[in-house]
A and B are shown apart, each in its own frame.
Chain A
């Protein structure tokens, strides 16, 4: 590798890009296959007679009726119905769940386990995770495992072996593309990485760092904790918190469940309607081009995803803020994710996003569009 640059992730160092530039790594996600080390994700194993009841009590989705082999993307809230974190919950067995999260969550699950026969174990260190994402992911992985990947549906997980090493393979990922995440013993990680690279080389596999991933996840409309929203546990003021409805996660909230943390507040909000909406934004190219032409420059766009708060306006009044954005090399569009007052959040709504053109603040016309920005059939097929 030519020169990795490193970044912090949950106390580990991970590659921002394995090559000097992240472009090829990003394109591999959309064109061939990318291999990502996502081991620093926090991982918890919930076991015991009441495992399902504990998970169901914490998350907003229905865990009691989840089938073995099912994976759910979900969030969980505090008692005021404000989101603490989001992640995946996999039912590995009748009495075994694995939860992934962006923030440490052991304490929150433990606090909610009072009176239940369930054990929560932090397996972050002992379980490694590799994400194999991209259109060729299945062709590569199928060579190494006996599991029938053609019939492993989107958001399903299977326990199997990979070159005789025990793994779980889930049809999940953070790219919005065809892809798998492989969950394995940390001591097998290097061997499995090497096996994937070997099997994947004829299929164009490329090790991919966080910069490439960040662009893909924005195209997929997937939000990131501490970038696109603030955990209710970390918020310093009330205004920093968001409900699931305000994060476009209303679809996940199961108000028919008997009880879960935050249910009462969320039921009220569901009736009232959220104050904010989490939206996709597409910046109007002609307008951006014009802003740059005024200073005799061609439009300048970010070479990688940005993660700062950028004001959004309607008729000169600020109605929200974008939280991450990038130029999508695939869609040839400048896209962003952001929050707006609910009235301005419908697809087709016209906005203006602040852009800095040659040191001066300007407003570029933009439109609210549905997410995911990119949603290929192969993701689910």
Chain B
């Protein structure tokens, strides 16, 4: 049946799947995207959970959406509108605070209040991280070469990476080595003395991982924050108007304008394969769709251990994918507010409420939050990243009311005794209790609340173990090891079955690079 035959099928209508489809259609291919849910977006969706209150239900800020994708897919014309999130306020246990403002000099003055030394070091640290990010950035846009391979293409790639690193100069090379190996706590200790500053900075190194700020390897993730800054004016860091679902909608609109068919409510049950080549997919309702190319934007576990006949895959590959770590560690609490929270450290309304509020008062606080998780409990006093999107985009809530997004870490997927409704509510209560210590009026502001555990995230979005990055962003799962040694180049052991989700290099966040690079791999093989 001609209507069910395409050049390529993309499984999953999250941002990466949509981006891959759009790039393929742009190259003239007839493409269909199959999405299990009734709406596109995956974890980048806006939903009106309570009447009048709209939430970026899961992913709540956009950080690294690649500028070339914004341009190639003409996303601003299709509705991309990113509003800056300008500041970060960290309330401290002693009633003081640390604030980082949009204006660099203002932040420097604020730091001066805490430590004259740190105020000096801040500039220097910023410069170094900028250089580091600049050094690492080209790698993000590149298909990762495999250092263990002797194929000319990989050798050439490694040579390019090697030359690139050699060009850094000794100081930067050493810093890079430290970033790759140290814990964020140790790395920051080399630079700063203000605990609250280090705690807030290190928190960005643990998001989406099952690691604490004192775990080795977390320093590298600090860099990610500076990557966004390189794009400077592209300002891909902030809040999408209408919520993150607006980004997915913009990509979907672009894809449709390029001719992509997007079918929602269609669950793929199996990828059809014959003689080592992909043939199409079978849907849950029994329908078959034919295509000689299939891309999966799902995570590696679903893509290989669920959708594909195991016999079609080499044993060592299956073993590698089985070992790929998910370990969802974060939850989300979405609050509908009748009034604004009043922070003891900075009372009343002010610009601080329009930025992020980081509940990371000290390094010990964040590490203790991890301690709970390490032994299978949710953090009694969790690290939280809070934003109030309705102050940036008033359309998110009824006039005068607000929505508050609370990203919470840690909430382990494998909770002792498993997640139950009662434990979900207890987790929600712990979150509110932890906020209340810094904003005592929070309880009276809340009109509705939604609590999402990693199990809920998995159930709704399909992300295995509720890991927001489709697999931990830990060093041993990055670059040429993502998702498995030898298979980081978007191909798979099954011919014409491709990966394009965050479970591949470079992975994570609303970046879109995986979707684009996956499509590029297809176009390279099928020119």
The answer to whether A and B belong to the same complex is yes
Interface residues, chain A, with chain B CB atoms under 8 Å away: 2, 19-21, 23-24, 27, 30-32, 136, 139, 202-204, 285, 298, 300-301, 303, 327, 329-333
CB-CB under 8 A from A203, the residues of chain B are: 394, 399
The 5 closest A-B pairs by CB, nearest first: A202-B399, A204-B394, A202-B400, A20-B103, A301-B233
Q: Is the CB of B71 within 8 A of A24?
A: no
Our pick among A24, A301, A333 for the contact of B84 (Cβ within 8 Å) is A24
| Residues from 366 to 419 in B contacting A, C-beta threshold 8 Å | 391-395, 399-400
Q: Is the CB of B84 within 8 A of A332?
A: no
* Complex CA–CA separation, A203 to B402 (angstroms): 11
Closest to B103 in A: A20
User: When A31-B83, A136-B394 are in contact, do A21 and B234 touch as well, CB less than 8 Å?
Assistant: no
Q: Is the CB of A285 within 8 A of B232?
A: no
CB of B81 closer than 8 Å to a CB of A: yes
CB-CB under 8 A from B475, the residues of chain A are: none
Our pick among A202, A329, A331 for the contact of B394 (Cβ within 8 Å) is A202
Q: Is the CB of B134 within 8 A of A298?
A: yes
CB of B67 closer than 8 Å to a CB of A: yes
Among B137, B234, B395, B399, chain A packs the most CB atoms within 10 A around the CB of B399
CB-CB under 8 A from B81, the residues of chain A are: 30-31, 330
* Complex CA–CA separation, A19 to B352 (angstroms): 13
Closest to B231 in A: A298
Closest to B235 in A: A329
Q: Mark B170-189, 1 if CB is under 8 A from A, else 0.
A: 00000000000000000000
* Complex CA–CA separation, A327 to B82 (angstroms): 14
Q: Is the CB of B103 within 8 A of A332?
A: no
* Complex CA–CA separation, A202 to B84 (angstroms): 19
* Complex CA–CA separation, A298 to B241 (angstroms): 27
Task: Show 27 A/B contacts (Cβ-Cβ < 8 Å), sorted by A.
Answer: A20-B102, A21-B102, A21-B103, A24-B84, A24-B354, A27-B83, A30-B81, A31-B81, A31-B392, A31-B393, A32-B393, A32-B394, A136-B394, A136-B395, A202-B400, A203-B394, A203-B399, A204-B391, A298-B134, A298-B231, A300-B232, A301-B233, A330-B76, A330-B81, A332-B67, A332-B80, A332-B234
Closest to A32 in B: B394
Q: Is the CB of B86 within 8 A of A332?
A: no
CB-CB under 8 A from B80, the residues of chain A are: 332
CB-CB under 8 A from A330, the residues of chain B are: 76, 81
Closest to A28 in B: B83
Q: Mark B44-86, 1 if CB is under 8 A from A, else 0.
A: 0000000000000000000000010011000111001111101
How far apart are A133's CB and chain B's nearest CB, in angstroms? 15
Closest to A135 in B: B395
CB-CB under 8 A from B235, the residues of chain A are: 329
CB of B351 closer than 8 Å to a CB of A: yes
Q: Mark B112-143, 1 if CB is under 8 A from A, else 0.
A: 00000000000000000000001001000000
* Complex CA–CA separation, A300 to B230 (angstroms): 9
Closest to A139 in B: B399
Task: Tally B residues with Cβ within 8 Å of A.
Answer: 34
Q: Is the CB of A23 within 8 A of B84?
A: yes
CB-CB under 8 A from A24, the residues of chain B are: 84, 86, 354
CB-CB under 8 A from A301, the residues of chain B are: 232-233
* Complex CA–CA separation, A20 to B104 (angstroms): 10
Q: Is the CB of B233 within 8 A of A329?
A: yes
CB of B106 closer than 8 Å to a CB of A: yes
Among A24, A31, A139, A203, chain B packs the most CB atoms within 10 A around the CB of A31
CB-CB under 8 A from B393, the residues of chain A are: 31-32, 204
CB-CB under 8 A from A32, the residues of chain B are: 393-394
CB-CB under 8 A from A298, the residues of chain B are: 134, 137, 230-232
User: When A301-B232, A327-B233 are in contact, do A31 and B84 touch as well, CB less than 8 Å?
Assistant: no
Among B71, B392, B394, chain A packs the most CB atoms within 10 A around the CB of B394
* Complex CA–CA separation, A125 to B54 (angstroms): 45
How far apart are A202's CB and chain B's nearest CB, in angstroms? 4
How far apart are B248's CB and chain A's nearest CB, in angstroms? 17
Closest to B137 in A: A298
Closest to A326 in B: B233
* Complex CA–CA separation, A333 to B77 (angstroms): 11
User: When A203-B394, A329-B235 are in contact, do A20 and B71 touch as well, CB less than 8 Å?
Assistant: no
CB-CB under 8 A from A27, the residues of chain B are: 83-84
CB-CB under 8 A from A31, the residues of chain B are: 81, 83, 241, 392-393
Among A204, A285, A300, chain B packs the most CB atoms within 10 A around the CB of A204
* Complex CA–CA separation, A204 to B232 (angstroms): 25
| Residues from 210 to 243 in B contacting A, C-beta threshold 8 Å | 230-235, 241
* Complex CA–CA separation, A150 to B525 (angstroms): 55
* Complex CA–CA separation, A298 to B84 (angstroms): 21
CB-CB under 8 A from A202, the residues of chain B are: 394, 399-400
* Complex CA–CA separation, A27 to B137 (angstroms): 28
* Complex CA–CA separation, A32 to B393 (angstroms): 7
User: When A329-B233, A331-B76 are in contact, do A23 and B67 touch as well, CB less than 8 Å?
Assistant: no
Known: A19-B351, A329-B82. 4 other contacts (CB 8 A): A21-B103, A203-B394, A204-B392, A330-B81
Closest to B133 in A: A298
* Complex CA–CA separation, A32 to B81 (angstroms): 12
* Complex CA–CA separation, A136 to B70 (angstroms): 26
* Complex CA–CA separation, A146 to B140 (angstroms): 56
* Complex CA–CA separation, A24 to B392 (angstroms): 9
Closest to B354 in A: A24
CB-CB under 8 A from A331, the residues of chain B are: 76-77
* Complex CA–CA separation, A329 to B67 (angstroms): 12
User: When A24-B84, A202-B394, A327-B233 are in contact, do A332 and B399 touch as well, CB less than 8 Å?
Assistant: no
Q: Is the CB of B106 within 8 A of A285?
A: no
How far apart are A230's CB and chain B's nearest CB, in angstroms? 30
How far apart are A366's CB and chain B's nearest CB, in angstroms? 15
How far apart are A176's CB and chain B's nearest CB, in angstroms? 15
* Complex CA–CA separation, A145 to B101 (angstroms): 37
CB-CB under 8 A from B394, the residues of chain A are: 32, 136, 202-204
* Complex CA–CA separation, A88 to B77 (angstroms): 30
How far apart are B206's CB and chain A's nearest CB, in angstroms? 27
How far apart are A367's CB and chain B's nearest CB, in angstroms? 13
Our pick among A20, A136, A139, A303 for the contact of B233 (Cβ within 8 Å) is A303
Q: Mark B340-374, 1 if CB is under 8 A from A, else 0.
A: 00000000000100100000000000000000000
CB-CB under 8 A from B101, the residues of chain A are: 20
Closest to A30 in B: B81
Q: Is the CB of A332 within 8 A of B134?
A: no
CB-CB under 8 A from A303, the residues of chain B are: 233
* Complex CA–CA separation, A27 to B102 (angstroms): 14
CB-CB under 8 A from B234, the residues of chain A are: 332
Q: Is the CB of B71 within 8 A of A285?
A: yes
Our pick among A23, A139, A300 for the contact of B102 (Cβ within 8 Å) is A23
How far apart are A271's CB and chain B's nearest CB, in angstroms? 38
Q: Is the CB of B106 within 8 A of A20?
A: yes
How far apart are B117's CB and chain A's nearest CB, in angstroms? 24
* Complex CA–CA separation, A19 to B395 (angstroms): 23
* Complex CA–CA separation, A20 to B102 (angstroms): 9
CB-CB under 8 A from A333, the residues of chain B are: 76
Among A2, A19, A298, A303, chain B packs the most CB atoms within 10 A around the CB of A298
User: When A20-B103, A24-B84 are in contact, do A332 and B71 touch as well, CB less than 8 Å?
Assistant: yes
* Complex CA–CA separation, A56 to B431 (angstroms): 68
How far apart are B234's CB and chain A's nearest CB, in angstroms? 6
